[in-house]
Amino acid sequence: MAILQISRIQHRRGTSDNLPQLSAAELGWSVDNRKLYIGNGTLEEGAPILGNTEILTEFSDLLNTSQAYTYKGEAAGYTITTGTSSSSPIERTLQRKFDDFVNVRDFGAVGDGTTDDTAAINRALFQLYCREVNEEIRRALYFPAGVYKITGDVVKIPTYAKIIGEGADSTCFKQTDSGEDYVFKTADSLQQIDASIATNAATRPQFIEVSGCTFWNSTTNHVGLITSAQHVHFDDVKFKGNLTLPTTVTDAKANIQVESTAVLVTEHITFDNCYFTGNTFAIEIDYNCRNVVVQNSYFDELYKAVKLGEGLTGTSPQDEGPRGFKVTGSYFDRVANSAIHTYSSVKHVVSAYNYFYEVGNDYNGSGNESAPVIYYVAGGNFSIGDAFERNDTDDLNQPRLSIDNVSSYGMIADNSVQYGAHRQEAGKSVTLLDNTSTTTTGITLADSKYTHGAIIDYSIVRGTTYRTGTLRIGHGTSVGYSDDFSEDSSTGVTLTVTFATNTSTINYATTSTGSNAIMKYSIRYLY
């Protein structure tokens, strides 16, 4: 049999930087990166372009070679494409697309609640935020839904870290080691913690963001420690201890502790839409920290929610104590003792537009009050627009806002304005009937609240006559009073005060003019 033609398979080999233009169907092997190429052929032979085409092997970087990815959101027959127009979509390699986020499971974390994920998590944090100084390599570290078991160590959240979970009830970091005091600690740019922070030329903990997860200490210990840090933000994060309705300070553990050093003051820490539960304290700060802000958050099942200016077990504060703590728009429920308790070194605390429900009564409801709802020991603190479930009767035994003998300020919705021991109640009005013998106005001053008396500022309008006056009342075992007023002409109204059963009653009598009188008044007193 005659052989008409024999096809010869040609191939070359060498390093990748010496790869030439291959002939048609000629193979070239790059020995240094283990990649295989084939020549395209000439244009005359019908090749679309000159050059070499890589043949995919196990060593090919498929994600980088693919140029076909564009975003398409297909729904109801409508296709969305990226770019300046539908005809010019943005194309990115799959490698670049996947590099937008880093998944912690790529580092070996499992999230099944059984596998120890501590080392994998800390390695991922180190690789992303500590190993290189080039800020361009930093990416958000994504934690898919699951329970990530922490044991034998803590999660060390370094400078510039950004942790993103699937939500507070979906992604959970669970500490199971009773020998470890915390679930997580803030760390510096070398992932150093505690007293080592900022040594070895490291950058202090700063610009840290954590969202969509739970930190749970399943032992009776703390949850998180923020120390020597600045610009740290928590959003949609649950801090969970393992206590159920604690009624004593015995365990003395906190969901969040904030600490500083004399050189590295912790400042600008924000908790937004967070949940604090199941521990002795939600937040405890006894160091010189500044501008810690809690907003739109929830507190429950705690002995005391916020404790500022005293150590866990009653020790004196470090340095001068925290300054500029703010809690706004938040809800407090099932707090055995005070919701906010500041000690003698603490100033510039603001509680504003919060709602305090089951607070300061050892979870026993109305009539069992055992502590003030808000307790400011020092001056320079504020309560503005806060709302309290505690009623007026319980307020007499344990006040909604305790600021006695200090220059703190409170504006309590539907109740009064307070400045130290001074209270000014909201203005009210009563109708004084025409041609009436002495009878009560309905205004009473019980000694249990208005201790030894009060001052009533008032005005009376009756027809076209007007009076402005001040009624001063002092009582103990009996009553004394004075009515100092001015009027444009006689209103025909006489005010008197009687005293019985430790209560002063303001009475009135009117002449017959054919007109009732309207009395507007406000009570001020020393509480």
- What is the structure's pLDDT at 318? 63
Structural element, H or E, at residue 477: none
In 3D, which of 193, 211, 210 has the Cα closest to residue 202?
193
Residue 209 confidence (pLDDT) above 80: yes
CA diameter of the chain: 143
| Distance separating alpha carbons of residues 420 and 405, to the nearest angstrom | 5
Residue 126 main-chain phi, psi, to 5 deg: -65, -45
- What is the structure's pLDDT at 363? 95
Residue 72 confidence (pLDDT) above 60: no
Of residues 448 and 498, more confidence is placed in: 498
Q: What is the pTM of this model?
A: 0.79
| Distance separating alpha carbons of residues 513 and 115, to the nearest angstrom | 88
Structural element, H or E, at residue 64: helix 62-65
| Model confidence band, residue 46 (pLDDT cutoffs 50, 70, 90) | confident
Residue found by looking up tokens 């021991």 in the block: 421
Residue 502 confidence (pLDDT) above 80: yes
Of residues 258 and 63, more confidence is placed in: 258
Average confidence score pLDDT of the chain: 89
pLDDT, tens only, 161-170: 999 999 999 9
- What is the structure's pLDDT at 374? 93
Task: Write the CA distances from 267 to 10, 145, 232, integer angstroms.
Answer: 69, 31, 8
Residue 149 confidence (pLDDT) above 70: yes
Residue 69 confidence (pLDDT) above 60: no
- What is the structure's pLDDT at 140? 92
- What is the structure's pLDDT at 71? 55
| Model confidence band, residue 18 (pLDDT cutoffs 50, 70, 90) | confident
Of residues 71 and 331, more confidence is placed in: 331
In the chain the domains, ranked by start, together with CATH numbers, are 11-60 (no CATH), 101-423 (2.160.20.10), 427-526 (2.60.40.1680)
Mean pLDDT lowest among 14-18, 66-70, 318-322, 380-384: 66-70
How do strand 35-39 and strand 52-55 relate by DSSP bridges?
Answer: antiparallel
Percentage of the chain modeled with pLDDT above 90:
62
In 3D, which of 360, 358, 418 has the Cα closest to residue 385?
418
How do strand 146-150 and strand 275-285 relate by DSSP bridges?
Answer: unpaired
| C-beta of residue 283 within 8 angstroms of C-beta of residue 294 | yes
| C-beta of residue 391 within 8 angstroms of C-beta of residue 367 | no
Residue 65 confidence (pLDDT) above 70: no
Tell me whether residue 132 is exposed, middle or buried, using C-beta atoms within 10 angstroms of its C-beta: 0 to 12, 13 to 18, 19 or more: exposed
6-30 b/e (C-beta count within 10 Å ≥ 16 → b): eeeeeebeeeeeebeebeeebbbeb
134-153 b/e (C-beta count within 10 Å ≥ 16 → b): eeeeeeebbbeebbbbbeeb
As given in the structure block, the two tokens for residue 110 are 């499992």
Structural element, H or E, at residue 35: strand 35-39
| Ordered DSSP codes for 323-361 | B--EEES-EEEEESS-SEEE-TT-B--EEES-EE-SBSS
Residue found by looking up tokens 């005060």 in the block: 497
One-letter amino acid at 71 equals Y
